[in-house]
A and B are shown apart, each in its own frame.
Chain A
Amino acid sequence: QKEVEQNSGPLSVPEGAIASLNCTYSDRGSQSFFWYRQYSGKSPELIMSIYSNGDKEDGRFTAQLNKASQYVSLLIRDSQPSDSATYLCAVNTDKLIFGTGTRLQVFP
């Protein structure tokens, strides 16, 4: 079983819709959770971090963490074509473990 799992996508949503990206992890001791955005051929860019159960909002982005169910999600409200990218989930075990990413496509 992979330590951090994401659906590879692509997830296609229309402009203005809510995009929902999900990630599950295997280590119950994980303490920190991150979402990175990566445009094609570019480096990962940190967009959200979350450390406790519940929701954390930052602009159009909301990260949700449920440690009991071992999943973390990222919601992008009012999706824009510029949000089209691959989103990487990263989870702290004794080191940072990355998922393989979900490709998001926002069409006009």
Chain B
Amino acid sequence: EAQVTQNPRYLITVTGKKLTVTCSQNMNHEYMSWYRQDPGLGLRQIYYSMNVEVTDKGDVPEGYKVSRKEKRNFPLILESPSPNQTSLYFCASSFMTSGANEQFFGPGTRLTVL
């Protein structure tokens, strides 16, 4: 089954404790992206990657890191999480390198930072 997977699905952590949210897709998509979704603000892009070893900042990159060492995986790293990073996070992938076409979303990770 073609899909985007994320882990963990739910995470409660404390300020400053490094964490990683994994994302993997099995559709051989070039483009991958991370979004956060907050009430009233919609989906905001954090980082994106157009190919292996190619990553770039989205609209809200502060406090986040990413890497793209393999085509299928695109982990999101929070080196020192803070309460304002409490949010619902989605990973997405797309066939086209620009990402400017239909994107397929993972199930989401609900993160709470205390």
Contacts and interface: CB of A to CB of B under 8 A. Distances in A.
Contact of B40 (A44, A49, A92, A100): A100
Given A42-B108, A98-B43, A100-B42, A92 B101 contact: yes
Contacts of B40: 8, 100
B42 A99 contact: yes
Nearest to B90: A43
Interface in A30-77: 31-32, 34, 41-46, 49
B100 interface: yes
Q: How large is the interface on B (under 10, 10 to 19, 20 to 34, 35 or more residues)?
A: 20 to 34
Interface residues of A, number: 22
A43 B99 contact: no
Contacts of A95: 45, 48, 98-100
13 contacts: A8-B40, A32-B102, A41-B88, A41-B108, A41-B110, A43-B108, A44-B105, A46-B102, A49-B102, A88-B42, A94-B100, A95-B48, A98-B42
Interface of B: 40-43, 45, 48, 88, 90, 94, 98-108, 110
